[in-house]
Amino acid sequence: MEAFTGTIIKADHPDIKVEPASVSKLMLVAVTLDFVKQGKAKLSEIVTTSRKAAKMGGSQVFLKEGEKFSLDELLYAILIQSANDACVAVAEHLAGSTDAFVDLMNKKARELHMKNTHFVSVSGLYVRPDVHDVTTPRDMAILARYLLLKHPETLKYTAVKVRGFRNNTFIMRSHNHLLKHFPGMDGLKTGYYHRAGYNLVATAKRGDQRYIVSLFGASTAKLRNKKVTELLEYAFRNYRRIRLAEAGKPLETIDVRLGSDKVVKLPLVASKTIDVVVEIGRKIKKKVKILKDKPPFKTNEKVGEASFYIDNKPAGSTILVAGRDVKKPGWSIFNLFKKKS
C-alpha cells in the first residue's frame, strides 16, 4: 500500500482472517495517541503499574506492582520490546480496565472501516483457540496508514533499534530486524505466536515515497523479512506517487482579451488535490475544457475542468476556477478618441 493515498499496489489474500499477535498493539497505540491528541492524556503523565499488569507473561519489561513510568516511556516499551505488561498498565490508566480499553480498540476499528477486525485483548497475547484477536492484512494496512497520517509521531518509537529502560538497567531491542538491514525502514510492528505465525506490518520511506507492507502467517522470521523486503523493493523500484493537481494552486492559464489590443493571462486554479500512484513509464495526459473565455471573471468562478488519464484510463478530474478578478473592458474618453482617430 502506498501510504499517502492508500493505493494498493500488490495484494495476495488481503481479506483472509488472521491472528495478529503483537501487531494488534498498533491499535492500542492508535487509541492512546488519540487520547493525547484530544487532550485527554499527556505523554508526560505518570502511569502506576497494577498487580494485573505486573503479572502479565510473554514479552515484557518486568514491571513491578506500584512501579511508575511516564506514558511516553511505556509507549517505547510497547513498540520496541513489545511489552505486554506495559500494554495492560497503559490500558488500565486510560480506560480504567483492560476490558474498557478493548471496547475502545474495537470502536476505533469500526471508525476506520476495518471490517474484519475484532480485538479481545490489549496486547495480542494468545488466550485460547476460541478467544483471540482477529484481523486481516488489509485492515492492518489501514491501521498503519492511519498512524502514519494522523499520528506520525508513532515513528519516533518504532524506528528505535535499541533503548534503555528503567535507568538503563534493562535494554530493549526491537524485534523488527529490518530496521538494521532495509534502507528507509522506520516501523512499525512485528508479531508472533505459534498459531499466528510470523507477522509484520512494516513501513519504509525513501525520498518523498512511503510504502506499507502488511504480511501475516510466515513460517519463519527469516521468510517474513525476505518477503517484506521483496515487496518494498518492488514498490520503490516500480512506482511513484505523483501530484497531478493541488487545491488552490494554478494548473493552467488562458489568454483573456480586453479590447482589440490588450490581452491578459488568467490563472486557472485547481479546486482539489489529485495524487496518484503510477507505475514508472506509464503515460499521463491532461485534457482541459474551457467553459468561459470572455470577461468579466470573478475570483473562484468556475471557468473550466481538467481531466487526467494514465494510459488513456481516467485518473481524476478537478474543476478549474478563476485565480483573480478580471473586469469587462469599459469605454473611456481615451478609447472613444482613439476609435474616432
Task: Tell me the domains of the chain and their CATH numbers.
Answer: 21-239 (3.40.710.10), 246-322 (2.60.410.10)
Helix (H) or strand (E) holding 304: strand 302-310
Which residue in 267, 272, 271 sits closest to 256, CA to CA? 267
| Amino acid 63: pLDDT | 98
Which residue in 56, 135, 115 sits closest to 89, CA to CA? 56
Helix (H) or strand (E) holding 242: strand 239-245
Catalytic residues: 22, 25, 82
Which residue in 3, 69, 75, 67 sits closest to 32, CA to CA? 75
| Amino acid 341: pLDDT | 45
pTM above 0.75, yes or no: yes
What amino acid occupies position 184? G
Instruction: Return the bridge partners of 262, or none.
Output: none
Hey, how many other C-beta atoms are within 10 angstroms of the C-beta on 316? 16
Helix axes 25-37, 71-80, angle to 10 degrees: 160
Residue 237's alpha-carbon distances to 159, 209, 283, in angstroms, are: 23, 11, 17
| Amino acid 131: pLDDT | 85
Could you tell me where the DSSP H helices lie in 115-153?
A: 137-150
Q: Are 294 and 322 in contact (CB under 8 A)?
A: no
Cα 212 to its chain centre, rounded Å, is 9
Q: What is the DSSP string of 207-231?
A: TTEEEEEEEEEESSHHHHHHHHHHH
Which residues, in sequence order, are CB contacts of 114 under 8 Å at separation 6+?
Answer: 135, 136, 139, 140, 142, 143
List the pLDDT tens digit at each of the 341 positions of the chain: 999 999 999 999 999 999 999 999 999 999 999 999 999 999 999 999 999 999 999 999 999 999 999 999 999 999 999 999 999 999 999 999 999 999 999 999 999 999 999 999 999 988 777 889 999 999 999 999 999 999 999 999 999 999 999 999 999 999 999 999 999 999 999 999 999 999 999 999 999 999 999 999 999 999 999 999 999 999 999 999 999 999 999 999 999 999 878 999 999 999 999 999 999 999 999 999 999 999 999 999 999 999 999 999 999 999 999 999 999 887 554 454 454 44
Which residue in 132, 108, 130 sits closest to 121, CA to CA? 132
| Amino acid 337: pLDDT | 47
